[in-house]
Structure 1
Amino acid sequence: MLFSGLLPLRSPLPLIFFLPPLLKNKNHLPLSSASATMSSSSGRNVNDFLMRDAPAAATKKKKPPPSASPSKKPKTLETLKTLEEQEEVKKENPKTLENPKTLEEQEEVKKENPKTLEIPKQEAKKEDANNKSKIANLSLELKKKGSNFDPMHAATWKPGEPVPFLFLAATLDLISSESGRIAITEILSNAFQTVIATTPGDLLPAVYLSANRIAPPHEGTELGIGDASLVRALAAAYGMQEGNVRKQLKELGDLGLVAKANRFSQKSVFGFKPRALTIAKVLDTFRTIAKESGKDSQDKKRNHIRGLLVAATDCEPQYIIRLLQSKMRIGLAEKTVLVALGQAAVRSDSLPSPPSHIQSPLEEAAKIMKQVYSVLPVYDKIVPTLLRVGVWELLEACTFSLGVPVGPMLAKPTKAVSEILDKFQGIDFTCEYKYDGERAQIHFMEDGSVEIYSRNAERNTGKYPDVVNYVSRVKKPTVKSFVLDCEIVAFDREKKKILPFQVLSTRARKGVILSDIKVAVCLYAFDILYINGKPLLQEQLKVRREHLYSSFEELAGEFQFATAITSNDLEEIQKFLENAVNASCEGLIIKTLDKDATYEPSKRSNNWLKLKKDYMDSVGDSLDLVPIAAFHGRGKRAGVYGSFLLACYNEHNEEYQSICNIGTGFSELQLEECSKSLRNKIISSPKSYYRFADSINPDVWFEPAEVWEVKVADLSISPVHRAASGIVDPNKGISLRFPRLQRIRDDKNPDQATTSEQVAEMYRAQKIHTNNKEEDDDE
């Protein structure tokens, strides 16, 4: 088989003597017993067996080996024919048949008998050359389009057999060489189609790994592995010094490439390679890594990683490391994974054909997959259902579920009340206060339990025990279950006043005890998505609001409905905006009531608009940007960073593009706190996925870790910065003029920062607004 990582032995007998000392006794184990031990019904391979027994064996102390006769040539595994010969070699050189415990012992044995510890490099390179030839053929197959593609020609395993991880790694590697969205989607779709045609049970792990996930977002499952641990695991797997790994990392700029470059150095255990990796094995190991906790958990995590790397071949080490880092950076966004999955379902012979009324099946399937994931972001439910009913019935089979948060519906910015009236002419709409707090989605279960999720599906229940208490008290007796969309705001109950977001951000993030709370909050509810077992996403806002108002009682300072009016009068809306600002709100959210007014998860809709007082004469909205570098401060700012290089996010290329330097809007305390926080995220050189001009030379670079909300006067074309490069101008990017820090966005991940497409859209909107203003002035 192409991806077999197990090299054949001339005789199975030496395996008995290579078992750890704890398995040896006077009566040698029969071969059948050893085989049964290592190939149990649980499916564990040799590598799993070693991982189990290695710690125990490592605690045993070995006697120094007796000197071997210089006149005799050391015997190797390949020369051992009989039990008598094995015993003879064992007496001459015990280390030949025992598993060395340390790198020093390994090097010693390697000098005495090189073939004992390493697969001969010529055999490893022969295997590598064979893999490359087959991968080249695979690449040709996966690049075929439409009906020209035959999944059975791409498969290198028999139907029903586990899908090799090398198949997925090779697919990802092929995608990394492509830049076009259509080509990337086609390749991944063909790969998924191959899995469906051969081993459909492996489609789920294939989708999870392609999306660079190991579990649904709301479960909060994290690998808990940093680059330092990966460096140590690499060094252990490849018999390298950690310093050499770091040196290569500095040269190559990618730990995945370091792993790939050293794959020939990997140590084999018992003189042979473990079984070839499968996608199911890799995902299971990742999930095991995530579950490790407590004492010695980092050592256990590294041992699991080492086991994967020892078994890996060709480009597998590169993508094992990148997946562990959660940074593949190959231009494969999750939306593309969903589109490819939908297309694979359409083209698969084993799944239902499209209904006759559908004119563009591939486009419709992509739309369905994205819609389904926005409502139920759980591959464990989507993929098996897709294989059972096909894509055309998926929307009916996968519906909004209590306890699984959907992505929040978002609003587009607007700059004037007059624009609102023009946009919603002849349509009923409502205006609500836009609160300056933290977006929350609250799930109340039928058993009375409550879960609170942030806008990026992070579980925040432990952060807000007071809110859990509120919602249990304000619901009416007839309400058994619900999902609320709301804003949690810091609130001064004595003065009955909303407090700034900065006050809310001082609350602890988890494990909050009711008696220790110093910052009170008020919950402002503005939408309801689920009530008493019934999803409401497809209902118009007017209907959803009726359910909201009839299901809860307001409790001043604790639970209130968002302040709102329904009007199309310009002066009345203008006055309402001023009232919102005076009430310490950011501005208004404007929503259609009964036309195109369904709830659209994870979508920035034209049917919701936001109007902020601060931006009515500027670009219309703030930007959420990522600090990627900094310059040392001087004078009064000595000892802290004086300014920072900010970047937007290009979700298609998975890269951060510089957009401006910022040094204003910071209080002294803020500057000190930002500097302290970012010092823990310093890296030696810029990431390979940072885009900036050669003329930009900051003093330090950072991991992409924080999101800052920034106000700006306007946007301009820039020959220096790379934001939205090639979108508005073919050779230049976009930069910000007079940026000012507004706040740190703890509720956002760096990949949720303002995108390059949004920057380009803001620039175009600003240009149209400026032109219109100039025309008005001319009149």
Structure 2
Amino acid sequence: MSDNEQQDEKPFAVEKAKTGRAKCKKCKAVIEKDTIRIAKLVNSPFSEGKMKAWHHVDCLFDVFAKQRATTKRIDDPEDDIDGWNELSNDDKKIITDKLNEFENNTPYKNLKRQSTQSQAGPSSKKKKPSNDTEKTVDTSDISLNKNENKSSNNPDDSFRSFRRLCVDIANASAYTEKTACIKKMFQFGSSEDGFEGDILLWCKLLLPMATKRVYHLQSKQLIKLFSRIFGQHEDDMLEDYENGDIAETIMNFLEKNTAIQYAKKSILTLQEVDNFLNELTQLTTEDTQTAKFKSIIKRCTPNDLKMIIRFIKNDLRIKCGPKHVLEAIHEDAYRTYQHSNNLEEVVKKFTNKSEIRVSSTSASTSVSGKGKVALMTPVLPMLAEACKSVEMAIKKCPNGMLSEIKYDGERVQVHKNGNKFSYFSRSLKSVMPHKVTDFEKFIPKAFPNGDDLILDSEIIMTDRTTGQLLPFGSLGGKKTKDNPNINVCIFIFDCIYYNGVVLLNKTMKERRKILEKQMTIIPNRVMLSEVQEIHDPQDLSQMIAKVLRLGLEGLVLKPTHSIYEPGKRHWLKVKKDYLFDGAMADTVDLVVLGAWYGTGRKGGMKSIFLMGCYDEDNDIWLTVTKVHSGHDDDTLAKLQDQLKDMIKISKDPYLLPKWIKANNRMVPDFIAKDPKTQPVWEITGAEFTNQGCHTADSISIRFPRVTKIRDDKNWSTATTLKELKVLFSKSSDSIDFSLLAQSSDKKKKKTTLDHFLNINNDNSVDTDEQCENKNNENEIIDVENLIMNKKTSNNNSKAAFHAVIDNDSTGNTSNWIEDRKPINALPENAKPRSEKCDTKVKRKGILSKFCIILDDDIPINRRKVLKQKLTTLGAEVEKKNNSPSSNVTHIIHGINEITISELRIYELPLAKHVTESWIDAIETTSMLQNEKRYAVTLVGEYCSCSCTKK
């Protein structure tokens, strides 16, 4: 073995025992098969090389406790143990827990420090490199300042200590455990003698997203750079990256490479890494970026480089945010950070570190002791949670609300300090200049007396000639640049700082009044958001219906007495896909045409899917949307096997088959071999859009999610291009606004409903008012039924009770869901639907004039579900027998094809034969569907009736 090979070897190794024959070198007992065993590399008596002396994990740490302080032990598992990265997380945790226990309970570390100090004299002859000393590395490319040289021997400044903390944080599952790990480090340090590092630097590196560094490097650019550095083929690295972790890919190829040397033990300091990252942000060309990476790789271990790449990607993969880190410093630190968003200032305030400098370039004002609001430093925006009903809004805003138009643009926080302007996005990043052009000219005109401002707003494209607001995604688009009548308009909806006065603790109503008083509207340039103060549920229902009819995104509801709380979700957002469990959302049945690899924990899996529809006129498949939400982990795992017949094309547009038309941006990693064999999924979204990214007449779906796997459908019964165009054109018209009206009436009619249900079991004689209320009984029950039965159909719940009121002159049906059935509250004269009633039932609903038979080719359990749906839709369901009624209009089948002989048993030449998907389509759209699309196919001889496809 060469000297270099000996130096490359790690002093320990780990694996699971393969045969169960090897014995532990300490206890001499057999190490059982599949048990974790750990080896210490010792000199081989048979050759000049090393051999592995295997131990039980506990036995090796017993050896460590008895050995001399200067003898090598495990300092960092990633650097010291060969095979560490091949272990599972659970196995790694066994060893790290044992290592932590050893460090906490053994005086070994202090003895080692004392021994090292005793050898520090210049005349000492015992100070020699150990057997595991790494090879000499050229450090001339990295310049260290005085502070770096001074702190290089401090374990609390070592990058290895930082990485070890990140491992502990990642392994901690609970929020409190993560905070406890950080708190322990900040209190006791790496050596447990007290923390001596730069706490601000630790916080900055633990929160890379808070530093807002921009590196101009995406994942594929990193692969391109490192393939050159390592002398590896770029395609090989891209293939490895399909597993979803760019940092792991680069680490793996660093270990494989022979073109560049790297350190075998981590010697980097946090200061070096921080300086490297700062300098990297200044580089924009490939040559300078490549040279910079080469300079630091010589001082990196593979795990060091992996962590540096994760800094560049702003994700350390430790599931740790500002709340975890700052609450480790002080319980109030995170709340202060929410107001100021100034990490440096917060750390200084709660650690009293005089050496931590705070920028003095921005004016700031304290906010009731909670922190400071600083001009030119973004404030965490106040957020909104989804509002699912009018009732929820009234409950959350008991004192009234400001109902504000939810503009379909981009959120922008405007800072004005005299003549200086800054614009921040929802994620607190600087907004691209072309999106906020000309605002510096118009905002001073809109606020003539406003010298210093922080405004919350939305920017959106408008057409000056029509006043029309353009849809989301049009900002910066080419079609807007070519049209002189289109420009960016800013809609101001809140003011949190005005001329030195912080308005965070002012109520929403007060802040609105300040805006109305101080702001001058500049048409189509600087506008005030449209609001309406609401206290009554009926007014809110009317407002929601109004904005949805206008095609707007929805509403934001703000309690009139609420203050501005940065980062809190105390506002409410109303969108049609939130209401009534999605009953008002846009829904379409699409075919899976392709798939992309996921990232992170979904790396290497097909987890993003290309959905499309069929163009019958041109015999081609078109793309409609990408979808990556709606499947749980178990379903996603099953789909990997179900979608095995897809062909890997790795986003190469030249490998697309002729049967599909897709834009280059929508070319997936995998494409279906045959789209007609692929599954059909129900896709639900906020709304249909027309943004030009997809080829189905540019129609797509915004915020798509999978809501159902349609095993009852195939490609021929999925939504076609023609049907998609109809759905798109009638999207706003198809909304069932009656749900809103009924919802707002519920509160007013509650007393009537309670009386009808006899909840209080009051047997007294009805008053005139009560008698009048009884006239509305059926209308109230219909309201409840429409909402509850819609929920039943979506959840495939079973209806537990159907009742008919005997003395009800109209004979209306009451349908109750199992978990919503009023216990002991039905009228005494209510009878189950299965019993005969003297009063003839008068049905209401889309299918009230239809009489339907369910064929035997539908499974029994499915027939029960369909019967419930048909009853809810108002249809009369007749049992299949030898003498069917001549009133039968439709016969529902569970299969797509039937024979003539099967058809003749009914002797109903005018009845139409359709598949069960016809019922599903009616229920989903609340509209009667054309039977031709759902008609069964006749096989064998043909008949002369009007029920078939010819």
The answer, yes or no, to whether TM exceeds 0.5 is yes
What is the CA distance between 1:584 and its match in structure 2? 4.6
Distance 1:204 1:373 in 2: 14
Contact 2:406 2:553 in 1 (8 A): yes
What is the CA distance between 1:574 and its match in structure 2? 3.0
Partner of 1:501, secondary structure, is coil
1:323 maps to which of 311, 323, 343: 311
Contact 1:621 1:711 in 2 (8 A): no
Contact 1:256 1:317 in 2 (8 A): no
Q: Please tell me whether residue 493 in structure 1 is matched to residue 473 in structure 2.
A: no
Q: Which one-letter code corresponds to 2:385 in the other structure?
A: K
With over 3 angstroms needed to count, the CA separation of the structure-2 counterparts of 1:238 and 1:468, relative to structure 1, is same
Written as runs of structure 1 = structure 2, the 5 A alignment for 1:668-747 is 675-679=663-667, 709-710=702-703
Q: Please tell me whether residue 340 in structure 1 is matched to residue 325 in structure 2.
A: yes
What is the CA distance between 1:278 and its match in structure 2? 1.0
Give ranges in structure 1 of 5+ residues lacking alignment.
Answer: 1-113, 347-364, 662-671, 686-694, 699-704, 720-737, 743-762
Q: Please tell me whether residue 279 in structure 1 is matched to residue 279 in structure 2.
A: no
The residue number in structure 2 matching 1:476 is 448
Contact 1:647 1:659 in 2 (8 A): no
With over 3 angstroms needed to count, the CA separation of the structure-2 counterparts of 1:125 and 1:507, relative to structure 1, is same
Distance 2:169 2:710 in 1: 31
Q: Which one-letter code corresponds to 2:461 in the other structure?
A: A
1:573 maps to which of 497, 519, 540: 540
Contact 1:170 1:315 in 2 (8 A): no
Q: Which one-letter code corresponds to 1:216 in the other structure?
A: T
What is the CA distance between 1:675 and its match in structure 2? 4.1
Bigger Cα Rg = 2
What is the CA distance between 1:439 and its match in structure 2? 2.0
The residue number in structure 2 matching 1:405 is 378
Q: Please tell me whether residue 134 in structure 1 is matched to residue 134 in structure 2.
A: no
With over 3 angstroms needed to count, the CA separation of the structure-2 counterparts of 1:209 and 1:533, relative to structure 1, is same
What is the CA distance between 1:385 and its match in structure 2? 3.3
Partner of 1:550, secondary structure, is helix
Distance 1:435 1:470 in 2: 20
Contact 1:165 1:279 in 2 (8 A): yes
Q: Please tell me whether residue 170 in structure 1 is matched to residue 164 in structure 2.
A: yes
With over 3 angstroms needed to count, the CA separation of the structure-2 counterparts of 1:148 and 1:558, relative to structure 1, is farther
The residue number in structure 2 matching 1:453 is 424
The residue number in structure 1 matching 2:609 is 629
What is the CA distance between 1:517 and its match in structure 2? 5.2
Written as runs of structure 1 = structure 2, the 5 A alignment for 1:347-362 is none
Partner of 1:188, secondary structure, is helix
**TM-score (ref. length: structure 1):** 0.57
Contact 1:342 1:369 in 2 (8 A): yes
Distance 1:451 1:164 in 2: 37
Distance 2:467 2:256 in 1: 68
With over 3 angstroms needed to count, the CA separation of the structure-2 counterparts of 1:258 and 1:696, relative to structure 1, is farther
2:248 maps to which of 248, 256, 261: 256
| 1:187-230: CA deviation from partner (whole Å, max 9, x where unpaired) | 333334455976655323322222234x634xxx3212234443
User: Higher relative CO (CA 8 A, sep ≥ 6), structure 1 or 2?
Assistant: 1
Distance 1:708 1:155 in 2: 64
With over 3 angstroms needed to count, the CA separation of the structure-2 counterparts of 1:287 and 1:633, relative to structure 1, is farther
What is the CA distance between 1:272 and its match in structure 2? 8.9
Partner of 1:400, secondary structure, is strand
Q: Please tell me whether residue 609 in structure 1 is matched to residue 600 in structure 2.
A: no
Contact 1:415 1:620 in 2 (8 A): no
Partner of 2:703, secondary structure, is strand
The residue number in structure 1 matching 2:405 is 433
With over 3 angstroms needed to count, the CA separation of the structure-2 counterparts of 1:413 and 1:289, relative to structure 1, is same
Distance 2:72 2:505 in 1: 50
Written as runs of structure 1 = structure 2, the 5 A alignment for 1:119-130 is 120-126=4-10
What is the CA distance between 1:480 and its match in structure 2? 0.9
Contact 2:464 2:485 in 1 (8 A): no
Distance 2:231 2:12 in 1: 20
Contact 1:483 1:528 in 2 (8 A): yes
Q: Which one-letter code corresponds to 1:601 in the other structure?
A: P
The residue number in structure 2 matching 1:216 is 211
Partner of 1:315, secondary structure, is helix
What is the CA distance between 1:530 and its match in structure 2? 0.7
Distance 1:637 1:440 in 2: 45
Whichever structure has more strand as a proportion of its residues is 2
Q: Please tell me whether residue 545 in structure 1 is matched to residue 512 in structure 2.
A: yes
Q: Which one-letter code corresponds to 1:278 in the other structure?
A: T
Distance 1:236 1:413 in 2: 48
With over 3 angstroms needed to count, the CA separation of the structure-2 counterparts of 1:717 and 1:529, relative to structure 1, is farther
Partner of 1:600, secondary structure, is coil
Partner of 1:547, secondary structure, is helix
Contact 2:389 2:579 in 1 (8 A): yes
Contact 1:648 1:659 in 2 (8 A): no
With over 3 angstroms needed to count, the CA separation of the structure-2 counterparts of 1:546 and 1:697, relative to structure 1, is closer
Q: Please tell me whether residue 420 in structure 1 is matched to residue 393 in structure 2.
A: yes
What is the CA distance between 1:133 and its match in structure 2? 0.3
The residue number in structure 2 matching 1:183 is 177
Q: Please tell me whether residue 387 in structure 1 is matched to residue 356 in structure 2.
A: no
**% identical equivalent positions:** 18
Contact 1:248 1:258 in 2 (8 A): no
| 1:595-653: CA deviation from partner (whole Å, max 9, x where unpaired) | xx111222222xx2223356534438979x99823368766584754664423799xx9
What is the CA distance between 1:473 and its match in structure 2? 0.8
Whichever structure has more helix as a proportion of its residues is 1
Give ranges in structure 2 of 5+ residues lacking alignment.
Answer: 14-70, 81-94, 114-150, 357-365, 587-595, 599-606, 643-659, 672-677, 682-692, 695-699, 712-723, 730-790, 798-815, 828-950
Partner of 2:430, secondary structure, is coil
What is the RMSD computed on CA atoms of the aligned residues?
5.3
Distance 1:202 1:401 in 2: 24
Q: Which one-letter code corresponds to 1:457 in the other structure?
A: L
Contact 1:374 1:601 in 2 (8 A): yes
With over 3 angstroms needed to count, the CA separation of the structure-2 counterparts of 1:275 and 1:603, relative to structure 1, is closer
**TM-score (ref. length: structure 2):** 0.48
| 1:70-95: CA deviation from partner (whole Å, max 9, x where unpaired) | xxxxxxxxxxxxxxxxxxxxxxxxxx
What is the CA distance between 1:281 and its match in structure 2? 1.0
Q: Which one-letter code corresponds to 2:305 in the other structure?
A: P
2:629 maps to which of 642, 647, 659: 647
What is the CA distance between 1:482 and its match in structure 2? 0.7
| 1:688-730: CA deviation from partner (whole Å, max 9, x where unpaired) | xxxxxxx9999xxxxxx99973367x957999xxxxxxxxxxx
What is the CA distance between 1:165 and its match in structure 2? 0.9
With over 3 angstroms needed to count, the CA separation of the structure-2 counterparts of 1:420 and 1:203, relative to structure 1, is same
Contact 1:121 1:264 in 2 (8 A): no
What is the CA distance between 1:494 and its match in structure 2? 2.7
Partner of 2:9, secondary structure, is helix
What is the CA distance between 1:283 and its match in structure 2? 1.9
What is the CA distance between 1:474 and its match in structure 2? 0.9
Q: Please tell me whether residue 307 in structure 1 is matched to residue 295 in structure 2.
A: yes
The residue number in structure 2 matching 1:53 is none
What is the CA distance between 1:573 and its match in structure 2? 3.0
